[in-house]
A and B are shown apart, each in its own frame.
Chain A
């Protein structure tokens, strides 16, 4: 299984994203990590080229309300809506329904358990043979 861990927006550090990336690796997954300050376009293009099964966005800046719908929309436009879209970081409880509405399959706020994220990812895969 291949996962893209991506950081859209202007966050100034990526400690959380790296922790998640390592958790996926330790669970036996191949994790493409692309670093800070990615645009939604770059993220979706990388997801296509890397043929990932999962796109996990890490967002601390509060911009999730615009970034998540944008990534979801671009994935759909590329015909890649079978890719599981997840979002984590500083996502207030109240915003989670909107994230799911926008096309994320899961949204994980601060203090989410890594094992839980990995398990959720595994059991919600959408793509055949992933």
Chain B
């Protein structure tokens, strides 16, 4: 049986191998992605982000356990940084993810960033789709620990949980760094430590004050107009979602049922307001736009290099005869004319 069929049938080795091929940008990966795509779109995706050592993995382990008790099939993607010096990485999130270790309803995969910035790996989106197609209905994505808001997680997670801990010092700094804008739910973990209540209060005050909540925050992202809809169509938009702040002690599971309920409430809110579909549409639009840009760029480049025009153009740019932008515009226009008059292959 081929890899796709095995993956769809729930074969864990096939799934694991498919993820490797995807990460390694193997030539088979594009075909694989195309074949599984019709089987995706069913899973709930939850992002977990926050500073190094905040307890993200411990929380993911706890949520995994709770979702399993509800009969959900849970997959975890845990990202750790690649060393810029050696290209190697130590992927240690599994140390805190022990409860699902021998459970066939749980699948955990560690990924290295391999130079990708933003707290995720290059292929996070594709890996999530493979897990989705393999029948995992709940997918948790743990980002690299970072002091600032890792915005990219919002592209893959319907609900983003930001984990904070008391005593890290500059809460205001973290808040300035955009934490409030990306959080759909805030977890104040290590609540067994001093300062948790104060942090919760501060966050709640900031959330109520912050004008970005409901505008620049997740609301604008998920509850704004869909791509192509009337501008201003959301003027009388749905009830804004104010991110709840949940106190947790992940090492004892304290507060984790409440955290799970907050995550589910956010999901329900998104569904009820149509925000989920709008968000999905917007993310797909961004993905397809990006791919069109890449593919069109590659085609134009290939066309221009075929007869030396590329080198010639670069020479003119380097001699300051033409600026990069004008050179590119000219090239694209010429490429489009050719593409229109018998296809981009006509030149070679």
Residues in A lying within 8 Å of B, measured CB to CB: 2, 21-22, 24-35, 38-39, 41-42, 45-46, 48-51, 78-80, 129
In the complex the two chains form, what is the Cα distance from A21 to B95 in whole Å?
13
Known: A25-B83, A51-B17, A51-B19. A33 touches B91 (CB 8 A): yes
In the complex the two chains form, what is the Cα distance from A46 to B107 in whole Å?
9
In the complex the two chains form, what is the Cα distance from A22 to B92 in whole Å?
12
Known: A49-B12, A50-B109. A30 touches B88 (CB 8 A): yes
In the complex the two chains form, what is the Cα distance from A118 to B106 in whole Å?
31
Which of B20, B87, B94, B112 meets A51, CB within 8 Å?
Answer: B20
In the complex the two chains form, what is the Cα distance from A26 to B101 in whole Å?
27
Residue of A nearest to B112 (CB): A30
In the complex the two chains form, what is the Cα distance from A39 to B101 in whole Å?
10
Q: List 24 A-B contacts (CB under 8 A).
A: A21-B90, A22-B90, A25-B88, A27-B88, A28-B87, A30-B89, A30-B91, A30-B112, A31-B88, A32-B110, A33-B95, A34-B94, A34-B95, A35-B94, A35-B95, A41-B102, A42-B98, A42-B101, A46-B108, A48-B12, A48-B13, A49-B107, A50-B91, A129-B26
In the complex the two chains form, what is the Cα distance from A22 to B90 in whole Å?
7
Q: What B residues does A34 contact at CB under 8 A?
A: 94-95
- Taking chain B's interface residues, is the majority helix, strand, or loop, or is none over half, making it mixed? mixed
B78 CB → nearest A CB, Å = 10
In the complex the two chains form, what is the Cα distance from A25 to B109 in whole Å?
18
A16 CB → nearest B CB, Å = 15
Which residues 1-23 of B have a CB within 8 angstroms of A?
A: 12-13, 16-17, 19-20
Which 7 pairs from chain A and chain B are nearest by CB? A25-B88, A35-B95, A51-B16, A42-B101, A28-B87, A51-B20, A28-B88
Q: Is the CB of A45 within 8 A of B91?
A: no
Q: B86 an interface residue at 8 Å Cβ cutoff?
A: yes
State the interface size on chain B (CB cutoff 8 A).
28
Residue of A nearest to B17 (CB): A51
In the complex the two chains form, what is the Cα distance from A128 to B107 in whole Å?
24
A124 CB → nearest B CB, Å = 18
Q: Is the CB of A27 within 8 A of B86?
A: yes
Which of A31, A51, A80, A129 meets B90, CB within 8 Å?
Answer: A31
Q: Is the CB of A50 within 8 A of B89?
A: no
Q: What A residues does B102 contact at CB under 8 A?
A: 39, 41-42, 45
Q: What B residues does A48 contact at CB under 8 A?
A: 12-13, 16
Q: What B residues does A50 contact at CB under 8 A?
A: 16, 91, 109-110
B142 CB → nearest A CB, Å = 14
Q: Is the CB of B94 within 8 A of A28?
A: no
Which residues 43-85 of B have a CB within 8 angstroms of A?
A: 82-83, 85
Residue of B nearest to A37 (CB): B98
Q: Is the CB of A26 within 8 A of B12?
A: no
Q: What A residues does B83 contact at CB under 8 A?
A: 25-26
Q: Is the CB of B86 within 8 A of A25?
A: yes
Q: Is the CB of A80 within 8 A of B13?
A: yes
Which residues 292-316 of B have a CB within 8 angstroms of A?
A: none
Residue of A nearest to B13 (CB): A48
Q: What A residues does B91 contact at CB under 8 A?
A: 30-33, 50
A129 CB → nearest B CB, Å = 8
Most buried by A among B24, B102, B110: B110
Given contacts A26-B86, A28-B87, A31-B91, 6 further A-B contacts (CB under 8 A): A21-B90, A28-B88, A31-B88, A32-B110, A34-B95, A38-B101
Q: What B residues does A33 contact at CB under 8 A?
A: 90-92, 94-95
Which of A28, A32, A35, A51 meets B86, CB within 8 Å?
Answer: A28
Q: What B residues does A79 contact at CB under 8 A?
A: 13
In the complex the two chains form, what is the Cα distance from A21 to B89 in whole Å?
9
Which of A25, A41, A49 meets B89, CB within 8 Å?
Answer: A25
A58 CB → nearest B CB, Å = 14
Residue of B nearest to A34 (CB): B94
